[in-house]
Amino acid sequence: MAIDTVKLRSPSIDEGTATFLERQCVLKQGIDCASGEVLYEITSGSLEGSWDSRISFKVHRDDWVSVNGKIQQMPCAPFVMVEASIHKFFYGQNIYGNPIGFQERCRLFVNMIGELLGGDKYREATTQGGMGFFHVAEKWQVRRVDWAEMFRLSKPAISEFFQGLEKCRFPRRKAKRAIYDSAVHFPGKFTTVRIYAKGPEFRAHEYPRMRRALTAKLMKEGSECRKTGVRVVWDHTANQYIERQIKALQRLADNRLRAEVQINSDKLHHDFNGRYPLVSEIDDDYLIKIFEHEMFKLLREGKTDMETVRTCNQVWSRLESVYGSRKAKSLHSFWVTLAGQGEDSVRSRYSKTQFYANRNSLVEAGVSWLSSDVFIIPQDTALPRDFRPLLADPRRCTGGVSNNSIFNFCPVESFDQRKAA
């Protein structure tokens, strides 16, 4: 899957450009609301959540700076803050597709925002060798990036996965954690980790939006749509076609588990020695490293190259082969209690030193205590015993999106063709 939500801050712009962009943003919203076309809904407010498909675009004239050791909001030259789901911007949905290449995606995104708001004025400026309204995307600051991965699992397997996470614990995030039947959420200052079933989220937030967006798109193309090369006049048949397409997307979402790590501005500021990095300084390897690290902190899996084991017999065999029979007996007893009662309960029974020593020994041996078979009567389960939401898992989704996809609302190709001409 890869890149999803990004938040970027532009270099300073002049006051005339700032005023023009503010007017265009309001006008764009008015046009969208009047026509019902929500393919590119631009808002000057904040996004409501990770599921929000709008583009947040706002001109600022003040910024937070350090004054005598205190953070204060001070007036400054105008700049733009833009936030959106890159995945939905390019592909219309974030159930499938693989938007990788952070710097190139940001370049296309910034260029498209300029064209959406500026139209002919922006195109004229860029074709004459200028930068349009903005500096090139590589000079924008990065204030947030979400890296997400999708995994193919059946609905029963997804349910079992979350049952196994009921006792999971994320270091120093107990107070704010939220664990539901089909989602876990661990917010933090540096990162926020979310794992959730995609089906319910799509049904609640995306299904109505997709219906409106597809209707607007097909009506805009001449009040008719195409199906296998046959022109279909806009009537109940076209509506049925749209409904079938969205239902197919819903069925796909129902068998997808999504894991995402939101990399916050504090983390970016920390990693780049007290300053916010530029787009040109962020690459996919950096984002993947953070994703894998945060998933390991949550699941305590994936640190070694050994295949992860989590069933009683497999765990005993692994511990005995790695540590020998004597230590294996002690660790296996610790593992049984950990798998059945969770970290918080087991922690009170051991000294701090012994608890962490035992837990680290399990991790180093590739042993997991999540989704184990402890106290589970049925031996046949829907969740594959070797599953882990990491890049190495064979159920990770990596497929791309066809240029002819009906959900592909972003005319990136036509934009590049015009610019090349």
Domain identity same for 294 and 308: no
Residue 375 lies in a domain: yes
Same domain, 266 and 311: no
Asked if 279 and 181 sit in the same domain, the reply is yes
Q: Is residue 35 included in any domain, yes or no?
A: yes
Residue 229 lies in a domain: no
pLDDT tens across 37-47, in order? 444 567 666 66
CA dihedral 294, 299, 303, 307 (to 10 degrees): -140
pTM for the complete prediction?
A: 0.77
Give the mean model confidence (pLDDT) for residues 153-175. 78
CA distances from 132 to 12, 16, 120, 129, 138 (A): 13, 13, 10, 9, 14
Express each pLDDT in 217-237 by its tens digit: 777 665 444 545 545 455 667
User: How far apart, in Å, do the first and last CA atoms of the chain sit?
Assistant: 32
61 to 27, 113, 267, 385, 415: CA distances (angstroms): 20, 20, 24, 53, 30
CB neighbours of residue 201 within 10 Å: 20
CA dist 345 → 181, 310, 334, 358, 369 (Å): 21, 19, 12, 15, 14
Of 208-217, 267-276, 348-357, least confident by mean pLDDT is 208-217
Query: Does residue 295 sit in the same domain as residue 315?
Result: no
Q: Do 292 and 353 belong to one domain?
A: no
* The most confident of 56-70, 253-267, 309-323, 394-408, by mean pLDDT: 253-267
Specify whether 271 is located in the same domain as 343: no
Report pLDDT for 103.
Answer: 96
pLDDT digits (tens, 9 = 90+) for 360-402: 888 888 887 765 655 443 445 788 877 888 888 899 998 888 7
Structure-model confidence comparison of residues 291 and 124, the more confident one = 291
In a domain, 236, yes or no: no
Mean pLDDT of the chain: 80
Mean pLDDT of 136-164: 92
Lowest mean pLDDT among 126-140, 159-173, 253-267, 402-416: 402-416
- Same domain for 167 and 179? yes
Instruction: List the domain range (segments joined by +) for residue 287.
Output: 2-201+251-300+396-420
The whole-number pLDDT of residue 193 equals 92
For residue 47, the model assigns a pLDDT of 67
Concatenated DSSP letters of 103-128: HHHHHHHHHHHHHHHHTHHHHHHHHT
Do 24 and 123 lie in one domain? The reply is yes
Same domain, 197 and 337: no
Enumerate residues 6+ apart whose C-beta is below 8 A from 184.
162, 165, 168, 177, 178, 193, 194, 195, 196
User: Are residues 175 and 71 part of one domain?
Assistant: yes
Q: Alpha-carbon distance 324 to 319, whole Å?
A: 7
- Encode burial over 271-310: b for 16+ CB neighbours within 10 A, e otherwise: eeeeeebbbbbbeeebbbebbbebbebbbbbbeeeeebbb
**pLDDT band per the 50, 70, 90 thresholds, residue 410:** low
Residue 202 DSSP class: I
- Our count of domains for the chain comes to 2
| Best mean pLDDT range from 78-82, 180-184, 213-217, 310-314 | 78-82
pLDDT of residue 397: 93
Q: Residue 209: pLDDT above 50? A: yes
DSSP state of 204: I
**Does 48 fall in a domain?**
yes
Do 321 and 260 belong to one domain? no
Q: What are phi and psi of 145, to 5 degrees?
A: -145, 135
Residue 145's pLDDT is 97
Query: Could you tell me the pLDDT band of residue 420, with boundaries at 50, 70 and 90?
Result: very low
User: Is there a single domain that holds both residue 71 and residue 141?
Assistant: yes
Confidence at 421, pLDDT banded by 50, 70, 90: very low
The answer as to whether 208 is a domain residue is no
Residue 232 lies in a domain: no
